[in-house]
Structure 1
Amino acid sequence: MDSLSQVVLGAITFALVKDKEIGKKSLVYGAVLGTIPDLDVLLNPFFDSVEQLAIHRAFSHSIFFSIILSLLAAKILSKKYNSSYISWVWACFVALFTHPLLDICTTYGTRILYPLTKSYYSLNNVFVVDLGFTLPLLIATIALWIMKNKNPKRSKIINISLILSTGYLVWGLVVREIVYYKFETVLQEKNIAYEKMNVAPTPFNTFLWQAIIKTKEGFYLSDYCIFDKEMNTHFYFEKSENQLLPELEKRPELEPFFNFAQGYGLVKKEGDLIKIYVTKFGPMTTDKKGPKFAFPMCIKPDGSYYALQNPPKNYDEILNKLWIRVQGK
């Protein structure tokens, strides 16, 4: 998830264990630990776009990394404060491991069991930036920083913020299951045979959801808002040149890309180029001509590849359409 969310989550979870002992300092330690897993992005300049996928959210986001670093950090902190080593291990672990646990909730996913498996795990119940989750933790962090260490209300603030933020994630899970079932029902009524379906939240909210349905011929795409008066039964269809996938998936240098795509690669043949779009996030926008995807992996006739950086230029229009659609219009 975004850096701010990880910082305040780390701060509050560490404070949950250590606030009574060290007060405001627990926020600092927790914020630092909550940030550490994402420092793998500092290696990006040394690798190409596919190699970056192999590195990001890999070992630094695995449970084994959290365990190892917790043991080491706790050794230092327990000596500094001359208190129970086990309690410091627990404080460090919750601040570290809640980072990948939160990332699992996003569509991006994370490799929490790396290196045992390179598979991404994702619950798809929250977008990578969502103030519904972040605000309670941010407000609590600011309040704790302002309040005196001996204020008896500190524990209550910590607990309430964690209940609210966790409750928001649970809300996302429940809504996703309801929306998933609705799309399943529509697909059965339309007799659409499909291989797999991903239902994911649209940016910044848990009201509007999009469905990405994979078939042998391509992908069906649709959306549903919980404020819609009736279920949306209109689907866009994007044909995919799936017959090209078997050979491409055999190339070891492209393995990180296909692992990341999680089976949601849309293949387009455009001139001499083969373009593969990761559709699991849904389209950037949709117009009369259909859905528009961004950032494809482009493969040249000679086998070389590169990631095409083509961000949309009409962000204002995209956000305006999103805002209207979130209202069920």
Structure 2
Amino acid sequence: MHRVGSDQGLSPRRGAGKYEKVLPPSGRRNCSTRSDQTRHALNPSPPNPLGGGGAVEVVGVDVPGVVRRGGEARLGCRWGGGGGRLYSLKWYLDDKEFFRYLPEETPSLLSRPLPGVNVDRERSTGEVVVLLGVGVGAGGRYKCEVVGAPPTFHTADKSATLTVLHVPETGPVIYGARHEYHPGELARLTCISPRAVPPPRLQWYINDRLAPPEYTSGLNTSKTSSDGLVESRLGLRFTVGAQHFQGGQLKLRCAATIPGLYHKTRQYSVGDGPAQLNVPVMESRDSAALAGDFMLMREAAPLIKA
């Protein structure tokens, strides 16, 4: 199955203002004529490193499985067939085109900005695209599409998913706690996590026991900021009884967790002595531990290949 490689007004000759010219690694700006040396600078790899004739095909797409927000991501597209000739090679994020390589056009490399996607123009060649300062918006499904040379314009593509992480360094915060509670009074508290991606899961504990579901039912919400980070909120509502006091104290604790990456808690205690609010407990983990968990995750799945 194939389709004609029409760009619907998005080619370099039409609508060029929607794209940004990508300079060759040498930094040369005079691209009105293309010598063999310039062509090699723009595409240092052979036109078809895998060889073979027939219809063009995408052999594989290499995408990092997990990248920290603000980090670097290197995307690779391996193709073959088509007699080693291409009309175009394009990159999409969730079906939105952001980079194209047209070997017979001038300029041959063009990029279009997307939220969170910042192409390194010096190191991107088409078959390889390097993203710098990855934002939350860069997470999603990346597709490499190749279109063979005329007259057939055979088309093929493959995709792989990239996940962007932002792990906070601080713990959750408790709001609404009172200095003292008496049996029969209504306790209404809210736990708010730091902004993160993916959002932390929140849980309430009463005297080191998980709060009954009816105490938190319908009180789980989230808020997404303009930069894509998510703040989680979980309320706790119950009528205080004598059974909630153990040794004269009532302990209320909120835990925020991103499995394998992040676990911090905040505790509020009220009883015979002065009330204690927002006191970190022993199971909170420092940034060094988080970094170690992240590296283990990277080692387990360093690269997604499709």
TM-score by length of 1: 0.22
Q: Which has the higher helix share?
A: 1
Q: Which has the higher strand share?
A: 2
TM-score by length of 2: 0.23
Bigger Cα Rg: 2
Greater RCO (Cα-Cα under 8 Å, separation 6 or more): 2
